[in-house]
Amino acid sequence: MDMCGLYPGTKHLVRVRAQDLRAKHHWSSWSGYVEATTAEAAPVAAPEFWRRIQPVDRSRKRRITLLWKPLQWPHTNGIIQRYAASCWNELDSSYWDCGHLDSSSTSCVLSVTAHACNCNLTASNSAGTSPPAHIHIPGDKDAELRPPESISVKALDDFQLKVEWKVMVNQSESSYVVEWFPIPDTTVVGLHWKILNGFETSFIITGV
């Protein structure tokens, strides 16, 4: 028999048992398991993508840390082998590349100009490359949206915090991002983050 509708690049265990035509309630014992893996296909989703921006230094450069979360099954369609991340400036055609990023990489630091730039991130397996995740890095003089109002944090128990905020009037948000640090580790290494849809106004932090 053919088994259809399986996920690409996924290991399966298969076993078979038989039914006696002369006694429909009589079944054989199960066979042993046989292992098979479907062929990989290119990843179908982009990784979650975020950034941290440092102030401009004396040389008019600034360090940006690109951050992403490992692409998860079933979106991987196989085993992720590498990531690729880069940024570019459309004003002067400047280009910055993160170089080799293996499957365990979740961040990259680039030194870019003070001007606005765009960054892309992709994940690749043996069959192809994911759609790109895109993020815009504003220029150091660019105006930013006003932050959400009335932010509150409430402990639900020993391991959960509930964060709530209010939507800004006359402002249409397409998404939010929540960041949190375990004190005293307020570095990028200790950073946790989650991107949320624009209609959400609360988030529960777990495992604190």
Q: What are 73-85's pLDDT values in tens digits?
A: 999 999 999 999 9
Our count of domains for the chain comes to 2
Check whether the bond before 74 is cis (ω within 30° of 0).
Answer: yes
pLDDT band for position 167 (50/70/90)?
confident
Record the pTM.
Answer: 0.84
Residue 15 lies in a domain: no
From 137, 164, 197, the end of a domain falls on 137
Report the amino acid identity of residue 168: M
Average pLDDT of the residues in 192-198:
91
From 86, 106, 137, the end of a domain falls on 137
Q: How far apart are CA 21 and CA 78, in angstroms?
A: 40
Q: What are 91-140's pLDDT values in tens digits?
A: 888 999 999 999 999 999 999 999 999 999 999 999 999 999 999 999 98
Same domain, 97 and 154: no
Considering the chain, what is the average pLDDT of its residues? Answer: 90
pLDDT band for position 148 (50/70/90)?
confident
Give the residues across from 203 on adjacent strands.
163
pLDDT at res. 106: 95
Residue 1 lies in a domain: no
Residue 170 lies in a domain: yes
Same domain, 160 and 87: no
Q: Is the pLDDT of residue 174 over 90?
A: no
Expressed as residue numbers, the domain containing 167 is 149-206
Please list, in sequence order, all residues whose beta carbon lies within 8 angstroms of the beta carbon of residue 32, skipping any fewer than 6 positions away. Answer: 15
